[in-house]
Amino acid sequence: MKRIFSGVQPTGNLHLGNYLGAIRNFVRLQDDYECIFCVVDMHAITVWQDPKQLVDNTREVAASYLAAGVNPEKHIIFNQSQVSAHAELGWVFNCVSRIGWLNRMTQFKDKAGKNREKASTGLYVYPNLMAADILAYKATHVPVGEDQKQHLELTRDIAIKFNNDFNVDLFPVPEPLIFGAATRIMSLRDGSKKMSKSDPSDYSRITMMDDADTVAKKIKKATSDPHLIPGADVLDENGKLLDDARKERPEAFNLLSIYAALNDKELSDVLGEFEGKGFADFKKSLTDVAVTKLGPMGSEMKRLMDDKSYVDSVLKQGADRAAKLAEPVMKEVFDAVGFLRP
Ligand code: AQP
């Protein structure tokens, strides 16, 4: 069966972008793939995390998978640091991957910012660890948002180079699974920045655990514009938003795209529904659907986070199953590389 690996970092403030761009898709993949869904705590520490908070945030991500509907009996849910294969293979890949390849990674440049000398070395080699996450299980498919495409390319390059360097046919070259429109949700305050856990403004994102009042307040305050909602003439023949239209009204189209994604509709249908209306009306409808979709999930997440022993047992059992899957792969890797293991 085709095998998927994917993960979310436990860096707190899980938001609508994480849900629409990743977690919701996990639930949809369960029937057709064998899935390994990881809480990537080792990636999280590439930037400073408060240790106590990291523990809570790890449970928060696991709870979000469960509350969204991932079945832990059928699929694997675990946190990365419980399975040593990630660190072991990550090291081997640090020695296979090239500095020139890492220098091209745009996410490092974005996250490290101007003060690159002060960024952790972990942040720099993060894509090698991501390759290890995927290849330790010989995953064949990886669901990726726009922002992770480049890292998956690097994973593919590492798999090919490892196979060539050691003259083996050990790793499959994993394929991306790219989901349709609205996979990139932007900040509610600034339509040129993606919605992000680390944005200092709470009003930039709707979190998965926001209550109805908070969701309503955030949508009310969300940046929009005074113009009316346009018709389908802002779309190309494939129903895709024209670049010029997005550039002119990034916040407006972000809100419309969120509404489309939450309703599982095309943007063209949403424009048909609201053409000629102002944002005040539209925001009421957006609030209704956001509260309806996120409310029950947020309550379930809170319930699960109070039941720590259940979440921890899911993570432990998942880690045991994941370690069993990775063990024979790591044996092949150590043999290929020439690590003596009497
Ligand atoms: N704004 C977004 N729109 C759509 N998808 C998004 N994802 C993140 N932000 C958006 C997707 O969520 C998954 C998990 O992301 P991650 O936690 O591993 O790291 P990230 O992409 O760095 O997420 P954030 O929220 O932006 O966190 P910080 O602020 O800590 O960097 C990925 O599949 C990602 O595509």
Catalytic residue list contains 109: no
Strands (E), the chain: 3-8, 34-39, 76-79, 141-144, 175-178
pLDDT tens digits, 154-188: 999 999 999 999 999 999 999 999 776 546 899 99
pLDDT of residue 4 exceeding 70: yes
What whole-number distance in Å separates Cα of residue 19 and Cα of residue 293?
11
Strands 141-144 and 175-178 turn out to be parallel
Q: Are 318 and 77 in contact (CB under 8 A)?
A: yes
What residues contact 155, with CB distance under 8 A and at least 6 apart?
A: 127, 130, 131, 134, 135, 142, 174
Query: Which ipTM score applies to this complex?
Result: 0.96
Judge: domain 3-182+308-337, CATH 2.60.40.10.
no
196 — pLDDT class (breaks 50, 70, 90): very high
Please list the residues that pair with 37 across neighbouring strands: 6, 77
- Measured in angstroms, how far is the CA atom of residue 277 from the centroid of ligand 1? 32
Any atom of ligand 1 within 6 Å of the Cβ of 195? yes
SS3 call for 39: strand
Any atom of ligand 1 within 6 Å of the Cβ of 176? no
Angle at 7 between CA 136 and CA 214, to 5 degrees: 170
Q: Are 38 and 78 in contact (CB under 8 A)?
A: yes
What whole-number distance in Å separates Cα of residue 21 and Cα of residue 18?
5
Any atom of ligand 1 within 6 Å of the Cβ of 196? yes
Average pLDDT of every residue of the chain: 95
Q: Calculate what percentage of the chain has a pLDDT beyond 70.
A: 99
Confidence at residue 168, expressed as pLDDT on a 0 to 100 scale: 98
Residue whose Cα lies nearest atom 5 of ligand 1: it is 21
Confidence at residue 182, expressed as pLDDT on a 0 to 100 scale: 47
Please list the residues that pair with 186 across neighbouring strands: 194
Q: Where in the chain is the domain with CATH 1.10.240.10?
A: 202-305
Structure token pair of residue 289:
């659907």
Greatest pairwise CA separation for the chain in angstroms: 74
Neighbours of 247 (CB within 10 A): 11
Any atom of ligand 1 within 6 Å of the Cβ of 25? no
Atom of ligand 1 nearest to the CA of 40: 18
Q: Where in the chain is the domain with CATH 3.40.50.620?
A: 3-182+308-337
What whole-number distance in Å separates Cα of residue 299 and Cα of residue 164?
50
CATH code reported for the domain at 202-305: 1.10.240.10
Structure token pair of residue 103:
């220098």
Catalytic residue list contains 218: no
pLDDT tens digits, 221-253: 999 988 999 998 999 988 888 889 889 999 999
What whole-number distance in Å separates Cα of residue 8 and Cα of residue 10?
6
What whole-number distance in Å separates Cα of residue 282 and Cα of residue 233?
19
